[in-house]
Amino acid sequence: MSHDAAVILVTPPLSVVVKTIRRLFLALTIILAFGGGSAREAAAQWVAARSVTPQATEPLAGVERLRDWLTAVERHEPGEVDGPALAISRWSRFELDAAWADLRALLDRANGVASRFQRSGEAATIKTGSGPLTLAGAKDLLRLTDDEIRRRDATRIVKRAAVLHADLAVFVSLGLLVDHSRGYRTFLVDDGRRVGSDTRDYHWDFGRTLLDAVKPDPGGDAMVQLWYWASSAFMTRRGDLAGLEPHTEHARRLLPTSAVAQFFSGVLHETFASPRIQAAIRGTKTEIGSEESESRKAERFFRQTIALDPAFVEARLRLGRTLAVAGRHADAAAELQAVASATDDPVLQYHANLSLGREEQALGHRDAARSAFERAASLAPRAQSPYLALSQLSRRYGDKAGARRALQPVLDLPARESEREDPWWYYDISAGRHADVLLTALRKPFLGGVTQ
Amino acid sequence: MNVRPQMTVALLLWAGTVAPPRQTPTFSSRVEAVRVDVLVTQDGQPVRGLRPADFAIEDNGVPQQVDLVSSEQLPLNVILTLDMSSSVAGEPLEHLRRAGRAVMDGLRTGDRAALITFSHVLAMGAPLTADFGLVRRALDASEAIGSTSLVDASYAGMVLGESDVGRSLVLVFSDGLDSAAWLSADEVLDIARRCDAVVYGVSAGQSPKSDFLADLSETTGGKLFKAESTKDLSAAFLSVLDEFRHRYVVSYSPRGVSPDGWHQLTVRVKGRNATVKARPGYFAGS
C-alpha cells in the first residue's frame, strides 16, 4: 500500500492498555493516515533510506551500526523489554533500513570473497568504513556458517530479527517503549471524530522486509506463517487498522494459500464497513469505501478463507454477518446457524446467536429470533445487546409490556462500565483475542538465546 | 404526532378528569382513542387557547371528529437521554450536567423525570421519579468515557417514556455519531412509528451529526435542536421543555378507517395560517 493512501489505526488509550486486557478493548481511538504532504515526506524518507545501500565498489560505511543491530538481535530475549530492545527502539527508520542494506551487501561481498578464495586461493578483504574486513571477520560479524554465506542465506538472522522487531512493535504499541523509528504519519480520531495526529512505528513494516529474505521459500516457512498470524491478531486486537492494511496485503502476496491471511483481510474490510469507522471517515478523503463496498470486499475474503479451510468457523460467522449487511437474510441465517451449532467457543456462540436472532426476525421467524436472542443473553448475562434485541422484538410485534420487561435487565445492570461486559462492544477486535497465545508461540523457539 | 390507541377510560383518567374506576362500565364498548401530540406555532410563537373545534384531523384521508384537546395542565414525564461518551469529557460534560439540572429546575409539581446515560454502556442513572434530587445526583455522578450507543439509548428512552401514563418527552442529546449500538437505526425508527413518546433531539458542536437523531425527532413529531456549542445546552434544553409544554394533545376515536396497519395523519388548524408539527402517522394496534 502506498504511503499516501488513507488508512486507519484504531488503538485504545495507553492507560487502558496498561491496566487490564479487558479494558484494553473498550475506548477505541481511530487514526487516519495523512495524504498529500506526509506522502511526499514518507517517499523522501524511503528514497533516503534506499540511497544508503552501498554500491559494490564502495567501502561499507555502516559496519559498526550493523554490528550493533546484529548484537541486539542475538542478545534480545523474546518478550522482554530488555537492553537490546531499548537500544534498537531508539533507531530511526533510516538506520534500520541502512543496517539491513549493509547486511545484504556484506553477505554478498563475503560470498564473493569466499568464491574467489575457493577458486584461486586469493585471500581478499572487504572494504569497510572501519578498515578492511577479512572473510573470517565477516563470518564472525554475521554469525553465519560457510554454507550459509555460500547460499547467501541469512534466514537464521532475519527470523530472530523479525521476532525482535515484532516485540518492539508490541512494546511501542503498549506504551512500554517510546518509538523513534517514525513510520508514516496518521490522523488521530476518537469516538467518531479527528482529535489530532500521530506517527506510527516502523517495526511491523521492517519485520515484513526481513522475512521476505527467508530461504528457500518464505511463503512455505512455518515460522513466517506464525509471525504473520500473531502480528495480524495483535494489530486486530489493538485496532491497528493502519498497520493491518499493508500487513494483510503483503501476507496475501507472500502466503497465497494461507486462510489466516485471507481471514484477517476480511476482518479488516468488515471493520472498515462498521459504523464506528464509517462515522470516523465522514467528510474525510480516504480510500476506505462505503459500508456496502467494504462489506463486499470482506465477503470475498471470508469466502476465500472458507475455500482454503472449510473448518474456519470464525470466518463463517463473519461471512454470515456480511451477508446480513447485504440483506441476504436467509443465506446469513444459514451461515450463522451453522456456526452456532459448530463451535463451543462462547465468544463465537454469542455473536452467532445475537446475529442469528436479527436475521430470523428479518425473515419473520419471531420465535426463532427470540430463542436466538435468549441464547445470547444466557451466554453473557451482563451484556446489554441481547436484552435490547429482545425488547425491540417484543415492541415490534406490539407488545409494549413485553418490551419494557425485556429492557428491564439492562436498566438493572450496574452503571459502572467496569461491572459490565458485552462481547458486542469488542466484536471489531475480537478476531485478535488469541494474540497473546500466538505471540508466545512465536517467541518460544527463540527463548534462551537459541538461534534457529 | 403522538399517537396512543387506548381505552377512552384510560384517556379520561390520564387527562385529569375524575372518572372513578367503578364507573368503567360506561366505557365497556372498548372504543380506542388515538392521541396525537401537536405543536402549533404562528410566526415562530406557540399558539395558545385552541379547542377541539379548531383542529381538523384526517386519518388516512378520512376526516375525524376531535374529542378532546389538552394542553399545559398535563404533567410531564421527561426522559433525559444523554450522551456521556469520551467526546463529551471535560468542559462539555459540565455544560451537559448544568443543562440537565436546568431541566430539573424547570419541572413542576406532578411532573416526573428519568435519566438514561449512554456511552457504549447504556445505564439508568435515575428511574422515572418525582424526586428530582435523585436525577441531579445521578447527573453529578456521571462520567464521560467510551464510544457512542446513540441508537440503543434512544430506543430505551422511548420504551421508558411510553411505559407509563402521562405525556412523555424523550430528550436525547448527542454530540456525534453512533459508533457502538447493537440496534440499527432502521429498527428503532420502525419502533418510533409505533410508539407514542415524542423525541426531541439536541446536538452540539461542528462535528458530523447524526441523521438518525433528526429522523427520530421527525418521526415522533418532535424536533432537532442544534446548539452551536455545549455552552448553549442549557438554553437548548429549556427551549425544548418550554416548547413541549406548549404542545396540545388532541384525541379522537377513529371512524371509517382500517383497524390496523399504517395510518397517515394530517393535522391542521382551521382558520389560521399556523404551522402544525405532529408525527406523520401511526401503526394501529402496535
- Domain co-membership, A367 together with A416: yes
Mean pLDDT value of segment A355-383: 97
Same domain, A266 and A220: no
Rounded distance between C-alpha atoms, residue B39 and residue B1, angstroms: 9
Q: Could you report the per-residue pLDDT of B228-284, keeping only the tens digit for each?
A: 899 999 999 999 999 999 899 999 999 999 888 889 999 999 988 899 999 888 887
Q: Using an 8 Å Cβ cutoff, are A314 and A384 in contact?
A: no
Domain-embedded: residue A333 = yes
Pairing type for strands B198-204 and B167-174 reads: parallel
A427: nearest CA partner in chain B: B180
The CA–CA distances, whole Å, from B202 to B17, B230, B234, B239 equal 34, 10, 11, 10
Give yes or no for residue A183 having a pLDDT over 50.
Answer: yes
**Cα–Cα distance, A179 to A299 (Å, whole number):** 36
pLDDT (0 to 100) of residue A256: 96
Q: Using CB atoms within 10 A of its CB, is residue B102 exposed (0-12), middle (13-18) or buried (19+)?
A: middle
Whole-number Å distance between alpha carbons of B158 and B79? 8
The residue to which cell 395558545 is assigned: B48
Does residue A369 lie within any of the structural domains? yes
A 332-361 residues inside an 8 A Cβ radius of B: 354
> b or e along B224-259 (b: 16 or more beta carbons within 10 Å of the residue's beta carbon)?
bbebeebebbbebbebbbebbbbbbbbbbebeebee
Do A232 and A272 fall within a single domain? no
Query: Does residue A352 sit within a domain?
Result: yes
Region B118-140: mean pLDDT is 96
Residues in chain B: 286
**Do A130 and A52 share a structural domain?**
yes
Note whether A218 and A233 are same-domain residues.
yes
Q: Mean pLDDT across the stretch A409-417? A: 91
First-to-last C-alpha distance (Å) of chain A = 31
Dump pLDDT digits (tens) for A28-86: 344 443 333 343 444 444 444 444 455 656 666 678 899 999 999 999 999 999 999 99
CB pairs under 8 A between A and B: 117
Task: Say whether both A42 and A102 belong to one domain.
Answer: yes
- 3-state SS, residue A223: helix
DSSP state of A129: T
Question: Which residues are registered as beta bridge partners of A403?
Answer: none
Q: Are strands A185-190 and A193-199 parallel, antiparallel or unpaired?
A: antiparallel
Nearest chain B Cα distance for residue A3, angstroms: 26
User: Quick one: pLDDT at residue B15?
Assistant: 31
Confidence of residue A437 (pLDDT cuts 50, 70, 90): very high
Check: CB of residue A390 under 8 Å from CB of residue A374: yes
Q: What is the pLDDT of residues A241-278, one digit of tens each?
A: 888 999 999 999 999 999 999 999 999 999 999 887 88
Distance separating alpha carbons of residues A310 and A324, to the nearest angstrom: 20
Question: Does the pLDDT of residue A138 top 90, yes or no?
Answer: no
d(Cα B155, Cα B122) in Å, to the nearest integer? 11
d(CA B32, CA B282): 14
Q: In whole numbers, what is the pLDDT of chain B averaged over residues?
A: 85
Please give the pLDDT value at position A201: 87
DSSP B141-158: H----S---HHHHHHHHH
Across B213-224, average pLDDT? 94
State the average pLDDT over residues A350-371. Answer: 98
Cell of B261: 396497519
| Structural domain for A278, as ranges | 262-435
Residues A198 and A106 in one domain: yes
Instruction: Decide if A392 and B188 are in contact by the 8 Å CB cutoff.
Output: yes
Task: List the beta bridge partners of residue A189.
Answer: A30, A194
Structural domain includes residue A443: no
Q: Which of A240, A261, A282 is the last residue of a domain?
A: A261
- Identify the closest residue of chain B to A419 by CA–CA distance: B121
pLDDT at B20 over 70: no
A336 with A391, same domain: the answer is yes
d(CA B227, CA B224) in angstroms, rounded, equals: 10
Same domain, A254 and A284: no
What is the DSSP-derived secondary structure letter of residue A60?
B
Could you tell me the pTM of the whole model? 0.84
Distance, in Å, from the CA atom of A49 to the CA atom of A42, rounded to the nearest integer, reads 10
Residue A44, pLDDT score = 47
What whole-number distance in Å separates Cα of residue A405 and Cα of residue B148? 24
CATH of the domain at A369: 1.25.40.10
Residue B17 confidence (pLDDT): 29
Select the residue from A15, A388, A399, A404 to test the B interface by mutation, using most B Cβ atoms within 10 A.
A388
Bridge-based pairing of strands B66-70 and B76-83 is: unpaired
Q: What is the pLDDT of residue A58?
A: 64
| A399: its cell numbers | 407488545
Residue B3's Cβ-side half-sphere holds a number of Cα atoms within 13 Å equal to 31
Among all residues of chain B, which has the CA nearest to that of A420?
A: B121
Give B-chain residues touching A389 at CB under 8 angstroms.
182-183
Is A276 in contact with B180 (Cβ distance < 8 A)? yes
d(Cα A207, Cα A5) in Å, to the nearest integer?
A: 21
Contact B117/A415, CB-based, under 8 Å?
Answer: yes
Residue B275's Cβ-side half-sphere holds a number of Cα atoms within 13 Å equal to: 8
**How far is A201 from A243, CA to CA, in rounded Å?**
9
Q: What are phi and psi of B39, to 5 degrees?
A: -105, 125
pLDDT of residue B27 exceeding 80, the answer is no
Q: Are residues A135 and A73 in the same domain?
A: yes
Do A37 and A186 fall into the same domain?
yes
What mean pLDDT comes out for the span A321-333? 96
Q: What is the mean pLDDT of residues A316-329?
A: 97
Domain annotation covers residue A88: yes
Are B149 and B120 contacting, i.e. CB atoms less than 8 angstroms apart? yes
Strands (E), A310-363: none
- Measured CA to CA, the distance from residue B183 to residue A392 in angstroms comes to 8
Q: Which of A261, A286, A319 is the last residue of a domain?
A: A261
A411 touches chain B (CB under 8 A): yes
The number of distinct structural domains making up chain A is 2
pLDDT higher than threshold 60 for residue A21: no
- In this predicted complex, what is the ipTM? 0.85
Collapsing DSSP states into helix, strand and coil, what is residue A357? helix
Q: Are residues A84 and A174 located together in one domain of the fold?
A: yes
Helices A259-272 and A291-308, interaxial angle, to 10°?
Answer: 160
A382/B contact by beta carbon, under 8 A? no
Rounded to the nearest 10 degrees, the angle between the axes of helix A241-254 and helix A259-272 is: 150
Residue that is last in its domain, among A207, A234, A261: A261
Q: Show the domains of chain B with their CATH numbers.
A: 6-71+247-284 (no CATH), 76-245 (3.40.50.410)
Which residues on chain B are in Cβ contact (under 8 Å) with A276? 147, 179-180
Check pLDDT > 70 for residue A419.
yes
Query: Is A220 within the bounds of a domain?
Result: yes
Nearest-CA distance A2 → chain B (Å) = 28
> In terms of Cα–Cα distance, which of B154, B150, B152, B176 is closest to B88?
B176
Each residue of B62-90: pLDDT tens digit?
999 998 888 767 889 999 999 999 889 99
| pLDDT number for residue A187 | 64
Which of B117, B122, B260 to probe by mutation at the A interface, max A CB count within 10 Å?
Answer: B122
* Per-chain mean pLDDT for chain A: 84
Helical segments of A256-290, H only: 259-272, 275-280
Residue A3 lies in a domain: no
Length of chain A: 452
Residue in A closest to B121 by C-alpha: A417
Question: Residue A2: inside a domain, yes or no?
Answer: no
